Structure 1
Amino acid sequence: MAQLRFKHLFRIFEHIRPFLSYSIAADDSLYDRRILVIAPHQLDEAVGCGGTIIKHAQNGGHAEIVYCTHENPERMKESEAAASLLGSKRNHFLQFAARSLSGNKRFEETLASIIKRVKPNAVFLPFWFDNHKDHTAVSKALIKINKIVKLNFTVYAYGVWSPVMPNAIVDISSVWEQKQSAIECYKSQLASRDYVKIAQGLNSYWAEIKKPGMKYAETFFKLSAQEYIKLGRKIF
């Protein structure tokens, strides 16, 4: 069984490899654009791409966050506080139950409606292989949505539970403290796991890989929506 799993991983890497390079591009092109951030769970947005959202807002960009699931009123208040620190102009609380997104037609229809209304230039979502059922479900939903609405935006896929093999990087050194404050809004989650430490470790690692002396960076797997969907069809 382990051998089969490794074979599957090698096949996945073969599909991803053409989009990767030794020198990861520093990405500043999204800062004057409309972005839509899709967070399967409240907190994903802050850990996965919080610094990039903050920089985008500081540069006059428009950001909206979609929170796909809902667990309790406390976490709702925490996410509202975090979104305010991140600079989101509008928050969409879909309030689906956790672990209910996979194959959920109502979720897919709701997400399609939001995308049509927002008309984003860039969409941030968990990478295909982020290790959670709801995270994978968001990417799979794009395939279904694309049959209804022709998707025309750039995908910035981020990691929360699994590191991303990136082809784009954003220097967030100047806004790390604001990102940390946004993560710290989720006190109910920090009680069980140190998400600040998780984010700090990932962000400092990639910063040093990109440029010695850089303090913090967020990484993404960046493709056009159509390329991202085509990749997903090959893999799944």
Structure 2
Amino acid sequence: MEHFWVPYQALSSLPGHAVAVLAPHADDEVLGCGGALASFVAQGRPIHVVVVCAQSDEATTLTRQAESRAAARVIGYSAPVFWEFSDGQLPHAPQLSDKIRDWLVETHADLVLVTSCWEMHRDHRALAEATIAAVVALNGRVQIAFYEVGLPLPPNTLLDITPWKEIKDRAMSCFQSQLARQPYDRHIRALNCYRTYSLPPAVQAAEAYLVLTAQELLERGLNRDPQILSQALHQAAQEQARQPQALVDCQDCLAAMLNSTSWRLTAPLRWMGHLLKDDWRRVRNILKNRLAFQQPLPGPSNSQCIEQRQTVGNNDVRSVVRA
């Protein structure tokens, strides 16, 4: 049953001959599939990498592009192509799917690697959605392999990257502008280590992929409306943004009620109700105890105590219950 959730064997390579890699931002191609890229280089496969987004300012864009080229040199594939779509705006780029389809035809790729539609970043999800549409449009000529960066995906393939672990580490270290903000390399090393959980001890690091054909995309319904997850996450974010104000409104309403004249005037009645309820609960418990021990109810008395008898073994045990 466990095999349904995660593979228990790791592959040494992914399928396909010519490989295309789509990265939403400069560094995703290495963080998500740097080990796979190193394995493709070792196998001599044609590799085509595109970084889709550019940053809002030119200086940052140039810095990150230079880092991406440096990482490519470390691993050994050709410099990426940069499409320079606006960062954060991929969900609003309807022409993206057609551009991906044309690029896949041009490169003769039969395997495309892309961020998964379960990613937390909207650009990552939008790129996955556009790639799904492109792969389905190509009618079975290309397989798709989703990779993970910011959020684990449900994999059907684990790639053993133990031989390429050090190369991937060196390539990740090229992205100093991003590592200064967050130790992404540490997070990815932890993720790659976690992915060995179901694998033999000899596998020290693994990358997880969901590899699907166009037909499997159709069967899973991912082609029908791949934006469902994005829309649900957007709605959840909007609802979360409303929660603080809703809490403030509830607190104001509660404060108004507690400070109202009617609440103060009825306070003695509420306390009396609590006391009466508590007295009746005690009486009920005493009656239950009497019935359990099959003792007659006490007659009218001013006594504050009720004696109970219970046979334990051969001993007659007496106890006193406060009335």
TM-score range, shorter chain: 0.7 to 0.9
1:53 pairs with 2:37: yes
Partner Cα distance (2:69, 2:218) in 1: 31
Cα deviation, 1:196-230, whole Å, max 9, x if unaligned, reads: 11111011111242122321111111111332355
Give the structure 1 partner of residue 180 of structure 2.
Answer: 191
Give the conservation status (yes or no) of the 8 Å contact 1:108–1:145: yes
Cα RMSD of the aligned pairs, angstroms, is 2.3
User: Mean Cα displacement is larger for which, 84-93 or 114-123?
Assistant: 84-93
Give the structure 1 partner of residue 86 of structure 2.
Answer: 97
1:213 pairs with 2:202: yes
Give the conservation status (yes or no) of the 8 Å contact 1:82–1:183: yes
**Relative to 1, partners in 2 of residues 1:90 and 1:196: Cα closer, same or farther, differing over 3 Å?**
closer
The sequence identity of aligned pairs, in percent, is 27
CA drift at 1:110: 2.0
TM superposition score normalised by structure 1? 0.84
- Secondary structure of the structure 2 residue equivalent to 1:209: coil
- Secondary structure of the structure 2 residue equivalent to 1:219: strand
Give the conservation status (yes or no) of the 8 Å contact 2:12–2:161: no
Give the conservation status (yes or no) of the 8 Å contact 1:24–1:166: no
Give the structure 2 partner of residue 128 of structure 1.
Answer: 117
Partner Cα distance (2:209, 2:121) in 1: 17
Cα deviation, 1:14-59, whole Å, max 9, x if unaligned, reads: xxx9x94554443345377111011011111111110111011111
Residue number among 200, 203, 208 corresponding to 2:192 in the alignment = 203
- Secondary structure of the structure 2 residue equivalent to 1:26: coil
Give the structure 2 partner of residue 5 of structure 1.
Answer: none
Partner Cα distance (1:222, 1:62) in 2: 19
Q: How does 1:1-236 map to 2 (within 5 A)?
A: 20-28=4-12, 30=14, 33-71=17-55, 72-89=61-78, 91-146=80-135, 149-228=138-217, 230-231=219-220, 232=222, 233=224, 236=228
Partner Cα distance (2:146, 2:47) in 1: 16
Give the structure 2 partner of residue 10 of structure 1.
Answer: none
Higher RCO, 1 or 2 (CA under 8 Å, sep at least 6)? 1
The residue identity in structure 2 corresponding to 1:47 is L
**Relative to 1, partners in 2 of residues 1:96 and 1:230: Cα closer, same or farther, differing over 3 Å?**
farther
Cα deviation, 1:63-96, whole Å, max 9, x if unaligned, reads: 1111000121111101111122233235221011
Give the conservation status (yes or no) of the 8 Å contact 1:31–1:59: no
**Relative to 1, partners in 2 of residues 1:54 and 1:31: Cα closer, same or farther, differing over 3 Å?**
farther
Q: Higher Cα Rg: structure 1 or 2?
A: 2
The residue identity in structure 2 corresponding to 1:169 is L
The residue identity in structure 1 corresponding to 2:24 is P
Unaligned 5+ runs, structure 2:
56-60, 229-323
The residue identity in structure 1 corresponding to 2:44 is G
Unaligned 5+ runs, structure 1:
1-16
- Secondary structure of the structure 1 residue equivalent to 2:112: strand
Give the conservation status (yes or no) of the 8 Å contact 2:35–2:161: yes
Cα deviation, 1:123-148, whole Å, max 9, x if unaligned, reads: 11111111111111112113443575
CA drift at 1:180: 0.8
Give the conservation status (yes or no) of the 8 Å contact 1:170–1:217: yes
Partner Cα distance (1:226, 1:57) in 2: 28
- Secondary structure of the structure 2 residue equivalent to 1:105: coil
The residue identity in structure 1 corresponding to 2:18 is R
Give the conservation status (yes or no) of the 8 Å contact 1:101–1:137: yes
The residue identity in structure 2 corresponding to 1:69 is C
Partner Cα distance (1:136, 1:207) in 2: 25
Give the conservation status (yes or no) of the 8 Å contact 2:139–2:214: no
